[in-house]
Amino acid sequence: MSDIEHFEFVFLGGGKGGKTLAMELAKAGKSVALIEKGMIGGSCINVACIPSKTLIQSARNAHAAKLAASASFSPDMRAAQDRVRTVVSEMVDINMKGFVAAGFELILGTGRFIASRQIEVELNDGGTRTVEGTHVFINTGTKASVPDIPGLRSSEPLTHVEALETTKAPEELIVIGGGYVGLEMAQAFHRLGSRVTVLQQMAHVANREDVDVSEAIEEALREDGINIRTGVKAVEVQGRSGDSVMVSLSDGSNVTGTHILVAAGRTPVTSDLRLDLAGVKVDGHGFIDVDERLATSAPNTWAIGEVARTPMFTHASYDDYRVLKSQLSGGDRTTRDRVIPYAMFIEPELGRIGLNETEASERGVAVRVAKLPMTAVPRARTNGAMRGFMKVLVDAHSDQILGFTMLGTNAGEVVTAVQMAMIAKLPYTAVRDAIIAHPLISEGLNLLLLKVPEMAE
């Protein structure tokens, strides 16, 4: 065994929350080591948020160009891929410079526990190192799940990782999974020239949303020309992705295509970490058990981000950094009761914060609901982007905003405005009566909140 190197803080994985805390601690003069297999900056920058949104923007540009040009317009998938690689390369470089400036020890390799707070690292360039931390942070994230469907694994399907690397749009793409990743990729590749079919086992796509939201998404994607099949399960796959594949469905029908993209959930990267040797407990799915402080079952051992069941958003991992920073300094910030917004980058865009109607009903929370079609928003008309609606939930017994969902252009940005009001605990009337510049999409909040029913006496 190699000599054990001791650090005050050791991070296994360099995702958003972990790398941010590591850099801050190192800049403060602490001894810090960060172990990373090779994705400098984490999965968000390399294979998730940044490349996917870059590809989506290229797809939007291609769609706009096609609408403005003749029917013979052909999207340039190679140019789109070149743009993805450029953006990713630039952001990796920025992160690497930040790592160097922070001054922590960056160890490139695969780490596994050999004892409590001791990690052996198989180095990428050969050899091993063993490190020990007074505090250890597990930040290994998740990877795309491949369901146990007969023939699926042997068909060599794409996940979002391989899909983001392709330089040629699949001729006929079958997407297994109608969640956020599946829908974003489906629309992007459709706009880049693929014929796309989405298979969703649940009754609706985006099934964590209210039914009216899910149905509006389905309608919009079908209008675009995407084939949406809901309430069907893939039961067998034949062929090879990239050549020819056939998916047999639970209703007895078949779907054929040239490629399969699997977007059916995420699996925590924990199976090879030997967490039992570290005294770290996991749940039945392999996610690390943590308390509201992000502490694991082992002393001075913490987990960050998706691997700890933090909602699978980069901004949620960043808030984990805030929680841990507070805990290390004796503060009281926790994950309890935090409200995390999110967006889905299809067109029309989805933005959401707080409760929706389904959740309010399940929790027995009485609410007043108002809804406004995007056709009522002047800027949506000037932009020719009138699909979708805004919906707000206001407490039935006070004027506090409890939730907001928007399906429409610039939804993610408008959600932030509502989020600020919720953080400040402003009554909805304050936003209703605010002077919002005309014509902005967010001006729709004035119109929406005018429709909130009066409080029952």
Q: Is residue 86 located within the same domain as residue 137? A: yes
- pLDDT at position 276 over 80: yes
Helical segments of 291-350, H only: 314-328
Confirm whether 251 is domain-assigned. Answer: yes
Distance CA 286, CA 134 (A): 24
What pLDDT does residue 2 have?
59
Whole-number Å distance between alpha carbons of 443 and 409: 13
CB atoms within 10 A of CB 289: 14
Query: Which is the catalytic residue, given 63, 285, 397, 438?
Result: 438
Bridge partners (DSSP) listed for residue 262: 176
Tokens, residue 104: 């922590």
Mean pLDDT value of segment 293-302: 98
CA distances from 350 to 220, 375, 408 (A): 12, 16, 6
Considering the domain architecture, whether residues 362 and 442 belong to the same structural domain is answered as yes
The CATH number of the domain holding residue 254 is 3.50.50.60
Measured from the Cβ of residue 53, the count of other Cβ atoms closer than 10 Å reads 16
Residue 425 is part of a domain; what is its CATH number?
Answer: 3.30.390.30
Q: Any idea what DSSP says for residue 392? A: E
* Residue 177 domain flag: yes
Q: pLDDT > 90: what percent of the chain?
A: 97
Torsion of CA 144, 149, 154, 157, to 10 degrees: -40
pLDDT band at residue 305, thresholds of 50, 70 and 90?
very high
Q: How far is CA 2 from CA 5, 108, 115, 181, in A?
A: 9, 16, 14, 42
**Per-chain mean pLDDT for the chain:** 97
Does 1 have pLDDT greater than 90?
no
Note whether 18 and 106 are same-domain residues.
yes
The residue behind tokens 């948020």 is: 49
| Domain shared by 382 and 402, yes or no | yes
Residues 125-177 pLDDT 10s: 999 999 999 999 999 999 999 999 999 999 999 999 999 999 999 999 999 99
74 pLDDT tier (thresholds 50, 70, 90):
confident
The residues with which 227 forms a beta bridge, in sequence order, are: 197
Residue that is written with structure tokens 């968000």 in the block: 44
Q: By the 8 A CB rule, do 163 and 49 touch?
A: no
- For the cut 80, the answer to whether the pLDDT of residue 70 exceeds it is no
Q: What is the pLDDT of residue 66?
A: 86
Tell me whether residue 333 is in a domain.
no
Strand, helix or coil at 408? coil
pLDDT score for 232:
98
Yes or no: say if 408 and 433 are a contact pair by the CB < 8 Å rule. no
**Length in residues, the chain:** 457
Task: Based on the fold, state whether residues 126 and 91 are members of the same structural domain.
Answer: yes
Which structural domain range is residue 201 located in? 153-264
d(CA 296, CA 299): 7
3 state DSSP class of 174: strand
Q: Do 101 and 217 reside in the same domain of the chain?
A: no
How confident is the model at residue 20, as a pLDDT?
98
Please tell me the predicted confidence (pLDDT) of residue 447: 98
pLDDT digits (tens, 9 = 90+) for 350-359: 999 999 999 9
Tell me how crowded residue 20 is: count the other CB atoms within 10 A of its CB: 21
pLDDT at 449 over 80: yes
Within this chain, do residues 277 and 362 fall inside the same structural domain, yes or no?
no
Q: Report whether pLDDT(205) > 80.
A: yes
Domain count, the chain: 3
Whether the pTM exceeds 0.85: the reply is yes
Q: Is the pLDDT of residue 71 over 80?
A: no
Q: What percent of the chain has pLDDT over 70?
A: 99
Residues 414-445 pLDDT 10s:
999 999 999 999 999 999 999 999 999 999 99
Q: Is 173 helix (H, G, I), strand (E, B) or coil?
A: strand
The CA–CA distances, whole Å, from 448 to 54, 283, 369, 370, 451 equal: 32, 42, 10, 7, 6
315 is catalytic: no
Do 119 and 232 lie in a common domain? no
SS3 437: coil
DSSP state of 454: P
CA separation, residue 237 to residues 66, 81, 262, 343 (Å) = 34, 28, 12, 32
Please indicate, yes or no, if residue 171 is contained in any of the structural domains. Answer: yes
In this structure, are residues 353 and 341 in contact, taking their beta carbons and an 8 Å threshold? yes
Q: What is the mean pLDDT of residues 368-396?
A: 98
Interval 194-211 mean pLDDT: 98
Q: Are residues 223 and 304 in the same domain?
A: no
- State whether 15 and 138 are in the same domain: yes
pLDDT tens digits, one per residue of 8-40 = 999 999 999 999 999 999 999 999 999 999 999
Cβ–Cβ < 8 Å for 195, 185:
no
289 secondary structure, DSSP code: P
The answer to whether residue 337 sits within a structural domain is no
For range 47-58, the mean pLDDT: 96
Using the 3D structure, point to which of 210, 232, 264 is the last residue of a domain.
264
Asked whether residue 342 is assigned to any structural domain, the reply reads: no
| Domain match, 436 and 374 both | yes
DSSP string for 341-364? -EEE-SSS-EEEEE--HHHHHHHT
